[in-house]
Structure 1
Amino acid sequence: MGQTVIKVDRKTLEAIDRYYQQSKSNKQPPHTVFVAKHNGCTITAYQSGKVLFQGSEHASEAAKWDANPQTNKKQHNVESHSKAVLTKDHIGSDEAGTGDYFGPITVAAVYADERQQALLRELGVKDSKSMNDKTIASIVQDILKTDIIYSTVTLNNEKYNQLKQQNWSQTRMKAWMHHNAIDHVINKLNDMTPSGIVIDQFCEPGVYYNKIKASDARPHNDITFLTKAESQSTCVAAASMLARYRFVQEMEQLSKKVGFTLQKGSSNQVDRQIKQLINTKGESFLNQVGKVHFGNTQKAKKLSLDS
């Protein structure tokens, strides 16, 4: 099993603690802040500031918090264009729903010039990790009234599970979704060429390009891959909010479908809801609402009826 270890300061450790709040395990070994299971990874945060990521998506999950993770596998050099693009017109993209058992993966891409970026910031667009879904929805309603060009792509659960059966990794799915969202925005720009593209880095650039090529597509040029891109690019921050807003909308529809409010994340509460659905609708129904390869499925099947 691959792993990545990063060292963070106290402020970042607190941010990581909040981010994985819904995915935490009840077990807490000595000298740790928490243990969580998220996005196919086990995350162990230590009081020393070290954070250990273990699992199939260890590198991409760790990359959310550290630009230079120490891994037990040789990594490609980070291929990133000049950050000067951040002060110019550009396309930014980000995703939501990757670590949630219930609901789809959503990706959004946003193009904005310097004037539009200033307006977005006035509307409250910034790194949304500390915002709740109600605040994000309110800001998104204002974003949608502007003249920015954007696109959202949604991968529903049935298609997600089908691709997993065809041996698609979540990284490949995300790469393909980012590519298509960006492609849609470029097509809407007609003959105008953006100064660049910024993607919130979820895997090594070389891996991203290989995943796109594996689907017989041609990767876009001038891509800048940045960890914590939400805090650096207004376009990525806006894309993150749009992706989250779209994810929450989809979760609300799925909740109506099952008859109760589905929990976000991958916590023990999610396990109990999975068990409830298995008991009332049958295990096959999970394909319509969840990412069935997550460990939550097997944990839920072992729960007793009164758990």
Structure 2
Amino acid sequence: MSNEVLTVSPQTLQDMKKYYTMNLKPKTPPGGLFAAKKSTVNITAYLSGKVLFQGATAQQEAALWSGKSSQGVTSKKNTKDLNTPLPKDFKHWSVIGSDEVGNGSYFGPLTVVAAYVDKNHFALLKELGVRDSKDMKDPEIRKVASDLITFLPHSLLTVLPSKYNAIQPTMTQGKMKAVLHNQALGHVLNKIYPIVPDGILIDQFELPSTYFKHIQDQPKQIKENLYFQTKGESHHLAVAAASIIARYAFLTSLDTMTKEAGITIPSGAGSHADLIAARLLKRGGLPLLGKYAKLHFANTQKAQKIARL
């Protein structure tokens, strides 16, 4: 069994806990923040900042976070596969960027967006307020996105919980996201044809090698001039714009679900989500909850205990 250890900041620990939300184990070891199991890897994060990866693909999993580590991963193999180096002037290129929203939220859909930003539109996007969506409040997200969708070539793919729950037992979330990104990029390339972007940038959610493995069964695979970067929003406005539109679509879907359910459907996967899920379970069981939530999250079991089902 391969073992890897990282030392990360408190903020990165919280980012990791959110990232592994759907993989969390019910018990946390003494001094730990969380324990999770993703495929063949066990991840244990401690309040001290130490994170232990154990399993057949521990190196690859640890490599996802090595860029945020204060000491680096103990074994350097495969870390070069984490990101694809960007040309020095990449931020000035005309680029298709893609990002996803909702994968860490118990309620709501998984939304994936690819958007093309011509370099001649940089000034306009900045004037509209396009930047990292994590630094924007939801009202601003809605306002900026409603402007962007009127002129920016983009593709929005939304997987509602009912469909997500049907797919998830036979497809990992990583493969699901990879297939959606690949499809969205293909749609935008068709929309802007005969224009060819200078490059394509995916906000990285897994190793590039894993991504290509996940899309190898797709009839059309977008690979040319394709780059991967964590925190893609900081590398090009195209990813920032895609993230804003994806967030907007996610929020709009939550609004629709709230009206339909007659109860506020929240974002995230915290204890509040457990309480809402328990109320839905009491009202209509798993069939009703499955219309609004991703059932494989640990929240489902927590909600069942609250509802005493």
The TM-score normalised by the length of structure 2 is: 0.81
Structure 2 letter corresponding to 1:303: I
Structure 2 letter corresponding to 1:195: D
**2:291 is equivalent to residue 288 of structure 1:** yes
> Alignment partner of 1:129: what SS?
helix
The question of whether the paired residues in 2 share the 8 Å contact of 1:209 and 1:219 is answered with no
1:218–1:291 CA distance, 2 compared to 1 (3 A): same
Give 2:84's aligned residue: 80
Give 1:104's aligned residue: 109
* 1:121 shift after superposition: 1.6
> Alignment partner of 1:176: what SS?
helix
Structure 1 letter corresponding to 2:223: H
The question of whether the paired residues in 1 share the 8 Å contact of 2:8 and 2:68 is answered with no
> Alignment partner of 1:214: what SS?
coil
* 1:257 shift after superposition: 1.5
The TM-score normalised by the length of structure 1 is: 0.81
> Alignment partner of 2:112: what SS?
strand
* 1:64 shift after superposition: 7.0
1:29–1:256 CA distance, 2 compared to 1 (3 A): same
Question: How many residues were matched structurally?
Answer: 301
Structure 1 letter corresponding to 2:284: K
Structure 1 letter corresponding to 2:126: R
Q: Give deviations 1:245-298, integer Å, cap 9, x for gaps.
A: 000101111111211111211111111111111111122222211111111111
**2:265 is equivalent to residue 266 of structure 1:** no
Structure 2 letter corresponding to 1:201: Q
> Alignment partner of 1:288: what SS?
coil
> What stretches of structure 2 of length at least 5 have no aligned partner?
none
Rounded to whole Å, the distance in 2 between the matches of 1:50 and 1:152 is 38
1:244 to 247, 253, 257: 247
Give 1:197's aligned residue: 200
Rounded to whole Å, the distance in 1 between the matches of 2:243 and 2:250 is 11
CA RMSD across the alignment? 3.9
Structure 1 letter corresponding to 2:111: T
Give 1:114's aligned residue: 119
Identity over aligned pairs, percent? 37
Q: Which shows bigger deviation, 188-197 or 214-223?
A: 214-223
1:217–1:142 CA distance, 2 compared to 1 (3 A): closer
The question of whether the paired residues in 2 share the 8 Å contact of 1:99 and 1:266 is answered with yes
Give 1:257's aligned residue: 260
1:13–1:51 CA distance, 2 compared to 1 (3 A): same
2:164 to 142, 154, 160: 160
The question of whether the paired residues in 1 share the 8 Å contact of 2:182 and 2:221 is answered with no
1:92 to 83, 89, 97: 97
Give 2:64's aligned residue: 63
> Alignment partner of 2:194: what SS?
coil
> Alignment partner of 2:116: what SS?
strand
